[in-house]
Every structure is written in C-alpha cells, then in structure tokens.
C-alpha cells in the first residue's frame, strides 16, 4: 500500500476505534444517526481502502482478517467503556460493513485508472 493511503487508512481505523470506545455519555445528545449505520459506515471505508490500494491478494486477505479481529476486539472492549455495552447487532453491522466495503473496493479498483505514484 502506498504511504499516503496507508496513513489515511490508519487514521480512519483510529477514528473507528475512538468512536467505538468513546464513553456513552460523550455520545448522548449529539444527534448522531442510527448506531448500526455508524458501525456499518466506519467499516465500509476501512475495508474499501485496502481493497482499492493493495495489489497482492495475501496482503488484502491479511488486512480483512485484521479488520475482523479489530472489529471484534473493539466491540468487546466496549464492555470496559462507561455507558457502553457489547451488542451482537453492532458486531453484525461491523462485519456487514467489512464485506460490503471489500466488494465495493474491489469493484472500484476495476473501474479506477492506475494513478501515478506522484499523486499518491
């Protein structure tokens, strides 16, 4: 993965982790959309970016497996965040987002022209 895209991906994963483990009272009253939609959307992008950028299948497989493990660990980590709880629906939304993001990223990769390294 190119350095710019790797940095973007790591920042996105940090955002997902921060949002997942934020205390419940921090999120209350913030007019956020549906909780499951947030879980889904966070992981769609997290899976689409490596699907677009990674050339080797093995690297992509490792990234997807890592996302599944991260998603599960973060969801169970909510057990220790004040005002948060572990929900199987959140985990299902995460995993659905990973699958959809992977499929969307692979489809986009076929459509996007190859960009020179200087742009990335």
Tell me if 75 sits within 8 A of 43, measured CB to CB: no
pTM, 2 dp: 0.85
Tens digits of residue pLDDT in 82-119: 888 899 999 999 999 999 999 999 998 888 766 554 44
pLDDT at 115 (0 to 100): 53
Q: Indicate left, alpha or beta for 29 from its phi (over 0: left) and psi (-120 to 50: alpha).
A: left
Q: Is 106 exposed, middle or buried (0-12, 13-18, 19+ CB in 10 A)?
A: middle
pLDDT at 3 (0 to 100): 80
Residue 84's alpha-carbon distances to 36, 90, 106, in angstroms, are 14, 12, 34
Q: How far apart are CA 33 and CA 10, in angstroms?
A: 24
Is pLDDT at 1 greater than 70 in this prediction?
A: no
Selection from 116, 114, 96 nearest residue 104 by Cα: 96
Tens digits of residue pLDDT in 26-73: 765 566 667 788 899 999 999 999 998 887 889 999 999 999 999 999
pLDDT at 47 (0 to 100): 95
| List of long-range contacts for 27-32, beta carbons under 8 Å, 24+ apart | 28/83
Q: What is the distance in angstroms between the CA of the first residue and the CA of the last residue of the chain?
A: 10
Is pLDDT at 77 greater than 80 in this prediction?
A: yes
What does the CA dihedral 100, 23, 65, 34 come to, rounded to 10 degrees? -10
């Amino acid at each position: 993965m190119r350095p710019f895209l790797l940095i973007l991906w790591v920042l996105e994963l940090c955002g997902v982790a921060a949002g997942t483990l934020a205390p419940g009272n921090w999120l209350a009253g913030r007019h956020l959309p549906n909780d499951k939609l947030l879980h889904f959307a966070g992981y769609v992008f997290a899976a689409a970016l490596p699907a677009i950028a990674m050339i080797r299948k093995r690297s992509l497989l490792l990234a997807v497996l890592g996302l599944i493990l991260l998603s599960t660990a973060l969801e169970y980590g909510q057990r220790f965040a004040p005002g948060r709880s572990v929900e199987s629906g959140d985990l299902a939304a995460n995993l659905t987002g990973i699958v959809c993001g992977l499929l969307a990223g692979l489809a986009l990769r076929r459509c996007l022209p190859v960009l020179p390294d200087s742009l990335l």
